[in-house]
């Protein structure tokens, strides 16, 4: 705060200079109109990752096949880009299973290098987690089997190779894993029609349309792209044919934080956080998501209208000028919605979605504290594959307190568990953060206390990870390992 105040004159000077340039020629509003009209003609239909139909094994398990491979993707019309994907050239199919299903995923690595596939947000044993200890060498196949044991949620999968995660995700390796409940809520549920996967990533292309990772001057969060792709589509638009549409938004970017809102500032309902539905919908005008986080929102549309999902000025809490140099003043059009002239009416959102029992803090066996450093260490130590940082007793409940003692924006993700946020800087979390989460934002100077139950085994050979999900930080070593054992 004090740092911000002392620099306020610098900011005023900058604003003054910017507005002088801005007033030359046509007005900002005119310029924006022209740009938008031009852009809207060249938009591409949003691609929807295919929903994968599993085979059914003899004992009823659902069998999925994923093959990681390289390929070419047409982000631009003139030239393709070399990318990586699962079963395709960029991203991967959406996997879907119902609570208590047994799933079996066979992952083949056709890449020229080793990879892993981590099920982000999944409650499963450490040996199936797909972290840096479950490496799949080039040319080999890894079998992951587990039973779905958690509430309906939008999870995702991505590589988790020691020191190579950011590069592999950037090339295109990521996909969604949707979990359903046998008994569903009356929510929009038609995949790709009124229940849309929205995988948001920032990318940078050079003149030859090659993907490049670049860090600008003063960048400490990690490489930022200057273009947005949604489900691998540049400049996307989506047609709307229902009055209510559910968006399952995943921030699958390496380092970019988004503050999503619509260009007309309409309200929308947040119905789910990372690991499940909220108790009831929370009405907001904007929603900030950091890398790895998901949210499900429901948006109401009127016949014939067009509206733009945008991201502007995410609050990184880094102060001037670092805030700006790390994406804090960036603005993007993310996805245009074009509503048909006739919309199919959808029943209104239920006011109660699920019951969420608060985990009682007095059940916690221990409170641990984690201090995030500038960009490569937690509690003063960098990631070491041979060191176990935390040993948790199987079946126990713990409180973890995460403090960001640095000037850099971080978040914090824990494998295996979904947690509840107890406090953010001493206050209860806001409505949309009061449900189940697995990744939480921890801006500079803040402390987040969370509580979780640890109920799957992770041994010394197959421990779980906790880390910052800003991928450059994670790869630099801002990660630790924990076992869960009786
Ligand atoms: Cu999204 Cu350790 O992962
Ligand atoms: Cu994870
Ligand atoms: Cu970080």
pTM for this model (two decimals): 0.92
Instruction: Please check whether residue 214 is in contact with residue 204, taking contact to mean a CB–CB distance below 8 angstroms.
Output: yes
The whole-number pLDDT of residue 186 equals 86
Predicted local confidence at residue 17, as pLDDT: 41
CB 185 within 8 A of CB 236: no
105 lines ligand 1 (CB under 6 A): no
Q: How far apart are CA 361 and CA 365, in angstroms?
A: 9
Is 467 near ligand 1, meaning CB less than 6 Å away?
yes
As a whole number of angstroms, the distance between CA 10 and CA 196 comes to 43
Q: Which ligand 1 atom sits closest to the C-alpha of 474? A: 2
Interstrand relation of 439-442 and 464-467 (parallel, antiparallel or unpaired): unpaired
Q: For the sheet with 153-158, list strands across it.
A: 95-98, 175-180, 153-158, 118-120
The residue whose CA has the least distance to atom 3 of ligand 1 is: 120
pLDDT along the chain (486 residues), means of 10: 42 41 51 65 93 95 98 96 98 98 98 98 98 98 98 98 98 98 88 98 98 96 98 98 98 98 98 98 98 98 98 97 97 98 95 95 98 96 98 98 98 98 98 97 98 98 98 98 98
Q: Which of 223, 291, 205, 214 is nearest to 252 (CA)?
A: 291
CB 224 within 8 A of CB 327: yes
Which residue, among 370, 385, 372, has the nearest Cα to 163 in the 3D structure? Answer: 385
Name the token pair of 254. 């390496």
C-alpha torsion angle, residues 107, 113, 119, 121 (rounded to 10): -170
The pLDDT of residue 3: 44
Q: Which residues pair with 325 in a beta bridge?
A: none
Answer yes or no: is the C-beta of 294 below 6 A from any ligand 1 atom.
no
Q: Any residues with CB less than 8 A from the CB of 171 and at least 6 apart, and which?
A: 70, 83, 84, 211
Q: Would you state the pLDDT for residue 42?
A: 86
Distance 334 CA to ligand 2 centre (A): 25
At residue 22, the pLDDT reads 38
How far apart are the C-alpha atoms of 299 and 110, rounded to whole Å? 39
pLDDT the model gives residue 113: 98
* Tokens 């594959």 belong to residue: 385
CA 265 to chain centre: 23
């Amino acid at each position: 705060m004090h740092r911000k105040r002392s620099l306020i004159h610098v900011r005023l000077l900058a604003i003054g200079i910017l507005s002088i340039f801005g007033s030359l020629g046509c007005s900002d509003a005119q310029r924006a109109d022209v740009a938008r009209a031009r852009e809207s003609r060249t938009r591409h239909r949003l691609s929807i990752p295919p929903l994968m139909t599993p085979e059914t094994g003899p004992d009823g398990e659902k069998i999925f096949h994923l093959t990681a491979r390289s390929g070419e993707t047409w982000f631009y019309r003139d030239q393709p880009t070399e990318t990586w994907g699962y079963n395709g050239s960029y991203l991967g199919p959406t996997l879907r299973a119902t609570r208590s299903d047994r799933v079996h995923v066979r992952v083949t690595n056709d890449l020229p290098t080793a990879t892993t596939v981590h099920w982000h947000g999944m409650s499963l044993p450490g040996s199936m987690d797909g972290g840096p200890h479950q490496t799949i060498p080039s040319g080999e196949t890894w079998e992951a089997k587990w039973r779905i044991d958690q509430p309906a949620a939008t999870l995702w999968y991505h590589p988790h190779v020691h020191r190579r995660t950011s590069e592999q995700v950037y090339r295109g390796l990521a996909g969604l894993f949707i979990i359903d409940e046998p008994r569903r809520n009356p929510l929009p549920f038609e995949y790709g029609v009124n229940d849309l996967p929205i995988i948001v990533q920032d990318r940078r292309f050079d003149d030859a349309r090659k993907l490049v990772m670049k860090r600008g001057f003063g960048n400490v969060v990690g490489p930022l792209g200057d273009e947005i792709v949604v489900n691998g589509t540049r400049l996307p638009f989506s047609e709307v044919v229902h009055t209510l549409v559910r968006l399952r938004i995943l921030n699958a970017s390496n380092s970019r934080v988004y503050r999503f809102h619509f260009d007309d500032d309409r309200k929308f309902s947040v119905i789910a956080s990372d690991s499940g539905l909220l108790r009831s919908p929370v009405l907001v005008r904007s929603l900030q998501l950091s890398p790895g986080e998901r949210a499900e929102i429901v948006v109401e549309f009127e016949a014939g209208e067009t509206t733009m999902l945008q991201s502007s000025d995410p609050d990184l809490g880094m102060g001037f000028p670092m805030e700006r140099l790390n994406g804090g003043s960036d603005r993007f059009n993310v996805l245009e919605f074009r509503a048909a002239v006739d919309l199919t009416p959808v029943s209104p959102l239920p006011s109660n979605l699920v019951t969420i029992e608060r985990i009682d803090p007095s059940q916690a066996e221990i409170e641990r504290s984690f201090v995030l450093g500038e960009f490569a260490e937690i509690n003063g130590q960098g990631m070491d594959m041979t060191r176990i940082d935390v040993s948790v007793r199987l079946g126990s409940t713990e409180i973890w307190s995460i403090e960001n003692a640095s000037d850099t924006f971080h978040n914090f993700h824990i494998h295996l568990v979904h947690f509840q946020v107890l406090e953010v800087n001493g206050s209860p979390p806001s409505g949309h953060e009061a449900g189940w989460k697995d990744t939480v934002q921890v801006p500079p100077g803040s402390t987040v206390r969370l509580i979780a139950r640890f109920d799957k085994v992770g041994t010394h050979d197959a421990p779980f990870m906790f880390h910052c999900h800003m991928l450059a930080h994670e790869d630099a070593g801002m990660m630790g390992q924990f076992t869960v054992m009786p």
